[in-house]
Amino acid sequence: MVIKKPPSFDWQAYPVDSIEYKDARDRHESESKRYRTNYFYIASSVGIASIIVGVIAPATLGMGFVLGGVFSLVLGYVAAWDVLSDIIKFITLLIALMLLILGSFKMLKSEKN
């Protein structure tokens, strides 16, 4: 998969009421939606994988991975919140929440020992 730059649109190239303007705007919106959806899938995959590595790793190193994973998830959600379906939002947030709870229990358990 090749990651491309976000789509751009020259808003002043066409008169606002023209058919070309509406076609170009529709093309831009569909490309932008696809770009943001792909950005979310990549960011959430990297974020969840980072949180999993952080849960498995020792506490000092794991905290950095968990924090990086959380930031990656937040950036993915901010970029694509309005284009994602509700079920995708729910499932990925549930997975991230379960991983964070599991990680916090693991870190608390390792501090007691």
Q: What is the pLDDT of residues 71-81, one digit of tens each?
A: 999 999 998 98
Helix (H) or strand (E) holding 67: helix 59-80
Tell me whether residue 106 is in a domain. yes
Tell me whether residue 78 is in a domain. yes
Domain region containing 107: 50-113
Tell me whether residue 99 is in a domain. yes
Tell me whether residue 25 is in a domain. no
Put simply, whether the predicted model's pTM sits higher than 0.85 gets the answer no
Model confidence over 7-65: pLDDT tens digits?
A: 666 666 777 777 877 888 888 888 889 989 999 999 999 999 998 898 888 878 888 99
Tell me whether residue 19 is in a domain. no
Tell me whether residue 108 is in a domain. yes
Q: Is 111's pLDDT higher than 80?
A: no
Tell me whether residue 85 is in a domain. yes
Number of independent structural domains in the chain: 1
**What is the Cα–Cα distance from 32 to 83, expressed in whole angstroms?**
10
Residue count of the chain, please give it. Answer: 113
What's the confidence (pLDDT) of residue 19? 84
